[in-house]
Amino acid sequence: YFLKINNSTCFRYIELSNGLKALLISDLTQSESNREPVAKEEEDSGEEEDGDSESTNEDSNCVNKCKTGDCQFFTVILIFVDISYKMSYIISQSAAALCISVGSFSDPADLPGLAHFLEHMVFMGSEKYPAENGFDAFLKKHGGSDNASTDCERTIFKFDVQRKYLREALDRWVQFFIGPLMIPDAVDREVEAVDSEYQMAQPLDSNRKEMLFGGLAKAGHPMSKFFWGNAQTLKNEPREKNIDTYERLREFWRRYYSAHYMTLAVQSKETLDNLEEWVRAICIKIPNNGQPRADFSDLQDPFDTPDFNKLYRVVPVRKIHALTISWALPPQDKHYRVKPLHYISWLIGHEGAGSVLSLLRKKCWALALFGGNSESGFDQNTTYSIFSVSITLSDEGFQNFFQVIHIVFQYLKMLQSVGPQQRIYEEIQKIEANEFHYQEQMEPIEFVANICENMQLFPKEDFLRGDQLMFEYNPEVISAPLTLLTPATANILLLSPEHDGRCPLNEKWFGTQYSVEGNPPPQRIWEKCGFVFRDPPVITHLNKFIYINLKLILVLFDLFVNILAHNLAEPAYDADVAQLEYMLFPGDHGLFIRLKGFNHKLPLLLNLIVDHLANFSTAPNVFSMYIEQLKKTYYIILIKPDRLGRDVRLQILEHHRWSVMQKYEAIMADLGVTDLMDFVNRFKAELFVEGLIQGNFTSAESKEFLQYFIEKLQYKAPPAEPPVLFRVVELPQTHHLCKVQSLNKADANSEVTVYYQTGLKNLREHTLMELLVIVFLCLNISATTQILFDSFFRYQVYPSCRNTSGVLGFSVTVETQATKFSTDFVEGKIEAFLVSFGEKMVNLSDEAFQTQVTALIKLKECEDTQLGEEVDRNWFEVVTQQYVFDRLNKEIEVLKNVTKDELVSFFMEHRHASSRKLSIHVVGFGEKEKETHGDDQSSSSPESQDTERKTSSYGDVSELIFLPASPVLAKASRITDIRAFTSSLNLHPYHKILQ
User: Does residue 789 carry a pLDDT above 70?
Assistant: no
Closest C-alpha to 818, from 716, 936, 725: 936
114-126: average pLDDT: 95
Reported as a single tens digit per residue, the pLDDT across 179-200 is 999 988 888 888 988 998 999 9
CA distance 759 to 870: 27
- CB atoms near residue 441 (< 10 Å): 18
CA distance 461 to 478: 23
Please check whether residue 376 is in contact with residue 322, taking contact to mean a CB–CB distance below 8 angstroms.
no
- Helix runs in 738-822, H state only: 763-778, 783-786
Contacts of 509 (CB under 8 A, 6+ apart): 211, 226, 228, 230
Contacts of 10 (CB under 8 A, 6+ apart): 2, 3, 4, 25, 26, 27, 28, 272
Q: Could you tell me which residues are beta bridge partners of residue 494?
A: 313, 323
What's the burial of 506, exposed, middle or buried (CB within 10 Å: 0-12/13-18/19+)? middle
Q: In Å, how far are 33, 188, 726, 831, 993 from 653, measured between CA atoms?
A: 47, 40, 9, 22, 19
CA distance 549 to 715: 12
Please check whether residue 412 is in contact with residue 389, taking contact to mean a CB–CB distance below 8 angstroms.
no
- The torsion of the CA quartet 310, 313, 318, 321, rounded to 10 degrees, works out to 90
Please, what is the Cα angle at 994 between 988 and 995, to 5 degrees?
115
pLDDT of residue 795: 53
**By percentage, how much of the chain surpasses pLDDT 70?**
84
Give the pTM: 0.81
- CB atoms near residue 853 (< 10 Å): 19
Catalytic positions, written as ranges: 119
Please check whether residue 62 is in contact with residue 44, taking contact to mean a CB–CB distance below 8 angstroms.
no
- The torsion of the CA quartet 283, 287, 291, 293, rounded to 10 degrees, works out to -30
Type of residue at 975: I
CATH 3.40.50.300 fits 310-420+473-518, yes or no: no
pLDDT of residue 952: 54
CA distance 77 to 875: 10
Closest C-alpha to 729, from 656, 633, 639, 632: 656
Please, which pLDDT band fits residue 953 given cuts at 50, 70 and 90? Answer: low
Q: Report the SS3 class of residue 372.
A: strand
User: Does residue 34 carry a pLDDT above 90?
Assistant: no
Reported as a single tens digit per residue, the pLDDT across 512-558 is 999 998 766 557 433 333 333 322 222 222 333 443 433 357 899 99
Please check whether residue 708 is in contact with residue 607, taking contact to mean a CB–CB distance below 8 angstroms.
yes
Q: How many CA atoms lie within 13 A of 216 on its CB side?
A: 25
CA distance 947 to 938: 9
DSSP code for 68: T
Report DSSP letters for 379-401, one per residue: TBSSS-EEEEEEEEE-HHHHHTH
Q: Could you tell me which residues are beta bridge partners of residue 987?
A: 729
Q: Report the SS3 class of residue 433.
A: helix
Reported as a single tens digit per residue, the pLDDT across 74-103 is 333 222 222 233 333 334 689 999 999 999
CA distance 672 to 669: 10
pLDDT of residue 946: 45
pLDDT of residue 297: 79
Alpha-carbon 727 to chain mean position: 30
CA distance 155 to 153: 7
Q: In Å, how far are 199, 450, 573, 877 from 593, measured between CA atoms?
A: 37, 31, 16, 17
User: Does residue 25 carry a pLDDT above 80?
Assistant: yes
Please, which pLDDT band fits residue 107 given cuts at 50, 70 and 90? Answer: very high
881-906: average pLDDT: 92
CA distance 738 to 749: 17
Q: Could you tell me which residues are beta bridge partners of residue 694?
A: none
CA distance 834 to 826: 12
Residues in the chain: 995
Q: How many CA atoms lie within 13 A of 946 on its CB side?
A: 1
Reported as a single tens digit per residue, the pLDDT across 640-654 is 999 999 999 999 999
Please check whether residue 745 is in contact with residue 951, taking contact to mean a CB–CB distance below 8 angstroms.
yes
Rounded (to 5) percent helix, strand, coil in the chain: 40, 15, 40
Q: Could you tell me which residues are beta bridge partners of residue 513?
A: 506
Alpha-carbon 131 to chain mean position: 31
Look at domain 735-927+955-984 and name its CATH class: alpha beta
Query: Each residue of 798-820: b (16+ CB within 10 Å) or e?
Result: bbbbbbbbbbbbbbbbbbbbbbb
Contacts of 480 (CB under 8 A, 6+ apart): 330, 340
CA distance 496 to 504: 15
Please, which pLDDT band fits residue 715 given cuts at 50, 70 and 90? Answer: confident
CA distance 336 to 943: 47
CA distance 73 to 65: 8
pLDDT of residue 69: 32
Closest C-alpha to 607, from 627, 585, 582: 582
Closest C-alpha to 835, from 911, 726, 776: 911
- List, in sequence order, every beta strand (DSSP E) within 109-144: none
Please, which pLDDT band fits residue 721 given cuts at 50, 70 and 90? Answer: low
CA distance 322 to 493: 8
Reported as a single tens digit per residue, the pLDDT across 670-703 is 889 999 999 899 888 888 787 777 766 777 877 8
Please, what is the Cα angle at 151 between 146 and 156, to 5 degrees?
30
The more confidently predicted of residues 695 and 263 is 263
Q: Where are the domains of the chain?
A: 10-25+82-284, 310-420+473-518, 550-713, 735-927+955-984
- Helix runs in 220-371, H state only: 231, 237-240, 245-256, 272-283, 340-348, 356-362
Please, which pLDDT band fits residue 990 given cuts at 50, 70 and 90? Answer: confident
CA distance 307 to 326: 13
Q: What mean pLDDT is reported for the chain?
A: 83
Topology classification of domain 550-713: Cytochrome Bc1 Complex; Chain A, domain 1 (3.30.830)
Reported as a single tens digit per residue, the pLDDT across 601-616 is 888 898 999 999 999 9
Which range among 486-490, 564-568, 865-869 shows the weakest confidence by mean pLDDT? 865-869
pLDDT of residue 878: 81
pLDDT of residue 587: 78
Which range among 346-360, 522-536, 880-894 shows the weakest confidence by mean pLDDT? 522-536
User: Does residue 424 carry a pLDDT above 90?
Assistant: yes
Contacts of 902 (CB under 8 A, 6+ apart): 768
- CB atoms near residue 508 (< 10 Å): 11
pLDDT of residue 79: 27
pLDDT of residue 504: 93
Per residue, the 3-state secondary structure of 644-666, as one string, reads HHHHHHHHHHECCCCCHHHHHHH
Architecture per CATH, domain 10-25+82-284, reads as 2-Layer Sandwich (3.30)
Extract long-range pairs of 369-378: CB within 8 Å, 24+ residues apart.
371/344, 371/345, 372/341, 372/342, 372/344, 372/345, 372/348, 373/332, 373/341, 373/345, 375/467, 376/151, 377/103, 377/151, 377/152, 377/153, 377/154, 378/151, 378/152, 378/210, 378/214, 378/223
Q: Report the SS3 class of residue 356.
A: helix
Reported as a single tens digit per residue, the pLDDT across 560-619 is 999 999 999 999 998 888 888 888 888 777 888 888 777 778 888 989 999 999 999 999
Are 10-25+82-284 and 550-713 in the same CATH fold? yes
User: Does residue 722 carry a pLDDT above 70?
Assistant: no
Please check whether residue 320 is in contact with residue 209, taking contact to mean a CB–CB distance below 8 angstroms.
no
pLDDT of residue 8: 67
Q: How many CA atoms lie within 13 A of 853 on its CB side?
A: 20
Per residue, the 3-state secondary structure of 137-181, as one string, reads HHHHHCCCEEEEEECCCCEEEEEEECHHHHHHHHHHHHHHHHCEC
